[in-house]
Amino acid sequence: MKACRPSLRGLALAALALASCAPDAAPPAPAPDELPAHLADTGLYADATLRDVAPDVWPYDPQYPLWTDGATKRRWIHVPAGSAIDATDPEAWVFPAGTRLWKEFALGRRLETRYMEKRADGSWLRASYVWSDDGGDAVLAPAGGVAHLAEVAPGVPYDVPGRADCATCHSRGDGVLGFDALQLSAERDPLAPHANAGVPAGQDLAAFVARGLVRGLPADLLARPPRIPARTPRERAALGYLDTHCGSCHRDDGPLAGLGLTLGAELRDRDGDHPPRALVTTVGRPSRFRPPGAPSCEARIEPGAPELSTLVERMATRDPLRQMPPLGTHLVDVDALHLIETWIREDLEPTP
Amino acid sequence: MSKSLITSLSLAAVLVAASSLPACEKASAGATFAPASVERGRYLTVALGCADCHTPWHVGPNGPEPDASRGLSGHPAELVMPPAPELPEGPWLVSAAATNTAWAGPWGVSFTSNLTPDVETGIGSWSEDTFLASLRTGKHLGMGRPILPPMPWPGIGRLTDDDLRAIFAYLKSQPAVSNRVPEPLPPRG
């Protein structure tokens, strides 16, 4: 961890910290015994070497992974024996009490492993564990996170988020992201940015159903693995990217419902009989985001013109007051930005 | 701090500009709340001084005062602020507009929000949950960018749910004012 430099940005962050990190403003801390002090005690690993995962812990690999400044990730899930994920609603899986998930972030070496566990009352316990330099241990991170744990590029910090930040994104459905019918589908999107090619053995939807971890899934989703209906392959990848990076907050319910902006993918209309909400609520729709000096009526997506599209503008900046997503990155996702810009320019018909 | 800053700044130019702005009041979206809750919310809103910054100040008959025709509607959209003054090295940190609705500091420039129930430019489309989430988390709409200084959300966010709901009820019961407040500006350089 590096000390803050006395720069303007440092001052700005200090001012923000004064406003936003007063001790009394912190979320209620979990009871001390709820969060193990060491990752080794969360049940992830088979033994103290912290290399092999326990036999009742399963790796998974979402087809539209979240960009975190290029950090590489590994993910695992544990569902208690005798219980299962209720997948009756393909867009709103319900996880049983005792479900645990881990996500490991690495940049050359393991940096942190984020952890969430569903309590008996249905709420989630969330925390992160920071790895020692030698990889021999990972200890519980402070509730407020860790600033500048490492660097993703020269001078660009890698930050561990605070626990209160977890809920910002993990607010869709039951609060689990990246483990659902679309993300685990065997029908992988070859154009998805930063995705691994193909589904690793034993990690697709059918495998989790066969294992008994997922129950109630509509049979149609097994017979015909889910994919995003789209007019072009590029649009499919663009909508998948927006689903992962924007759709957990920008949805028809929740605190942002009033914006009328929905960027999540939909599985209920499997044949694409209706235009996706991610298009209906963006293409040609005026943006409420209006920085001083900007045109008075810029569209969320201006078909044929990414340079006039607010969605692109906010993807292309990491100014913390304007960037989207608002958390988790200090670098622009250049590959995804190229995908979205090309999709808007080449695939969306300009307004006459 | 806010009122002493006001008196220490040059008022004339900005106040003249603000006082000549048209008021854009229109009917509320029609939400209804229990009168007792609205009254409790009014009491809290006054006691907490929300209007000190969220209502633009202008020159009235008795000198600078909040512009009642723009109650709680935030920084006037028509008032385009010039670049904030560059302060010398030293203990001075913050500059404020004479309207008390624009603030410049190390975080950049922040403009006070429109808290009236206008659907397009205020909190008319907000749910009660959105309002509470914003003040509890210090994030715009409860999940976006940070809410910037000088908004004292860490203290207000410690009010009870009932008190925050009462403030929301009061705000939603006020006349809607169409006023699109600009987005904040990042720090220089």
Structural domain span for residue A325 = 228-347
Whether residues A48 and A191 fall in one domain = yes
Residues near B169 by beta carbon (within 8 Å), at least 6 away in sequence: B33, B34, B37, B38, B41
Percent of chain A with pLDDT over 90: 73
Amino acid type, B66: P
Could you tell me if A319 lies within 8 Å of chain B, comparing CB atoms? yes
Domain count across chain A: 2
| pTM for this prediction | 0.83
Asked which of A11-20, A279-288, B178-187 is least confident by mean pLDDT, the reply is A11-20
pLDDT at A292: 65
Asked which of A107-111, A245-249, B12-16 is least confident by mean pLDDT, the reply is B12-16
Of A310, A349, A312, which Cα lies nearest the Cα of A332? A312
Asked if pLDDT for residue B11 goes beyond 60, the answer is: no
Largest CA distance in chain B: 51
Whether residues A233 and A216 fall in one domain = no
Whether residues A326 and A183 fall in one domain = no
CB contact under 8 A, B187 and A9: yes
pLDDT at A294: 64
Whether residues A262 and A333 fall in one domain = yes
Could you tell me if A9 lies within 8 Å of chain B, comparing CB atoms? yes
Q: Which residue of A has its CA nearest to B188?
A: A8
Domain count across chain B: 1
CB contact under 8 A, B184 and A321: yes
Could you tell me if A255 lies within 8 Å of chain B, comparing CB atoms? yes
Asked if pLDDT for residue B6 goes beyond 70, the answer is: no
Instruction: Mutate one of B80, B87, B107 to test the A interface: name it (highest A CB count within 10 A).
Output: B107
Whether residues A216 and A235 fall in one domain = no
Residue A20 lies in a domain: no
The SS3 call for residue B38 is helix
What mean pLDDT is predicted for residues B109-127?
95
Element (DSSP H or E) covering residue B131: helix B128-137
Residues near B149 by beta carbon (within 8 Å), at least 6 away in sequence: A15, A16, A18, A19, B94, B103, B105, B107, B110
CB contact under 8 A, A12 and B185: no
Residue B53 lies in a domain: yes
What mean pLDDT is predicted for residues B64-72?
93
Residue A81 lies in a domain: yes
Residue A122 lies in a domain: yes
Which tens digits make up the pLDDT trace of A118-169? 999 999 999 999 999 999 999 999 998 999 999 999 999 999 999 888 888 8
Q: Which residue of A has its CA nearest to B94?
A: A15
Asked if pLDDT for residue B2 goes beyond 80, the answer is: no
CB contact under 8 A, B108 and A19: no
Residue A15 lies in a domain: no
Residue A22 lies in a domain: no
Residue B39 lies in a domain: yes
Whether residues A179 and A250 fall in one domain = no
DSSP-derived secondary structure letter, B130? H
DSSP string, A214-274: EE---HHHHHS------SSHHHHHHHHHHHHHTTTTSSSSSTTGGG-------SSSTT--S
Q: Among A8, A15, A255, select the one facing B142 at the smallest CB separation.
A: A255
Joined together, the tokens standing for residue B52 give 């000190």
B 52-111 residues with CB < 8 A to A: 80, 93, 105-108
CA of A330 to nearest chain B CA: how many angstroms apart?
A: 14
Residue B144 lies in a domain: yes
Q: Which residue of B has its CA nearest to A291?
A: B183
CB contact under 8 A, A258 and B146: no
Give the pLDDT band (50/70/90) at residue A30.
Answer: low
Contact A115, A75 (CB under 8 A): no
Could you tell me if B151 lies within 8 Å of chain A, comparing CB atoms? yes
Whether residues A68 and A209 fall in one domain = yes
CA distances to A290, A335, A340, B121 from A313, rounded to whole Å, are 11, 15, 11, 21
Residue A243 lies in a domain: yes
Q: Which residue of B has its CA nearest to A22?
A: B154
Asked if pLDDT for residue B64 goes beyond 60, the answer is: yes
Q: Which of A222, A239, A254 is the last residue of a domain?
A: A222
Give the residues across from A126 on adjacent strands. A116
Give the pLDDT band (50/70/90) at residue A293.
Answer: low
d(CA B83, CA B43): 36
What mean pLDDT is predicted for residues A53-70?
97
Q: What is the mean pLDDT of chain A?
A: 89
Structural domain span for residue B43 = 2-12+26-81+93-177
Of A303, A305, A299, A235, which Cα lies nearest the Cα of A261? A299
Q: Is the ipTM of this complex over 0.85?
A: no
Asked if pLDDT for residue A211 goes beyond 60, the answer is: yes
Whether residues A167 and A279 fall in one domain = no
CA of A251 to nearest chain B CA: how many angstroms apart?
A: 12
Could you tell me if A281 lies within 8 Å of chain B, comparing CB atoms? no
Which tens digits make up the pLDDT trace of B19-33? 333 333 333 445 578
Of A291 and B5, the structure prediction assigns the larger pLDDT to: A291
Largest CA distance in chain A: 64
DSSP string, A23-63: GGGSPPPPPGGGS-SBGGGGT-BSSTTS-SBPTT-EEE--S
Whether residues A215 and A235 fall in one domain = no
Tell whether omega for the bond before B150 is within 30 degrees of 0, i.e. cis: yes
Whether residues A170 and A57 fall in one domain = yes
Whether residues A52 and A196 fall in one domain = yes
